[in-house]
Amino acid sequence: MINVLDRQLIDINDLAKLLNISKTTAYRFIGNRKIPFYKIGHSVRFSLNDVEKYLEKIRVEQISNK
């Protein structure tokens, strides 16, 4: 069982600021299920842990010079 109380949750505004994206893009992430979220009533919240995992997943590695 997920213990939500152990997670730090942020709202859509915080997500947009953290990722330096617009709120529209953040809502698009929700619609396309690109990032996990919690729906609490009519609000959505994101776990900072999930945001970190998302960023690791989309990270593009540098090309090493030989």
Residue type, 38: Y
Report residue 62 as tokens. Answer: 């540098």
Residue type, 51: V
- Look at residue 7 in the predicted model and tell me its pLDDT: 75
Phi, psi of 8 (to 5 degrees): -90, 120
pLDDT by residue (tens digit) across 1-45?
A: 556 556 799 999 999 999 999 999 999 999 999 999 999 999 999
**What gap in Å lies between CA 63 and CA 6, rounded to an integer?**
38
Where does residue 23 fall: left (phi above 0), alpha (psi -120 to 50 degrees), or beta otherwise?
A: alpha
**What gap in Å lies between CA 53 and CA 37, rounded to an integer?**
13
Q: What integer is the mean pLDDT of 42-61?
A: 94
pTM score, two decimals? 0.80
Q: Contact 19/26 with Cβ under 8 angstroms?
A: yes
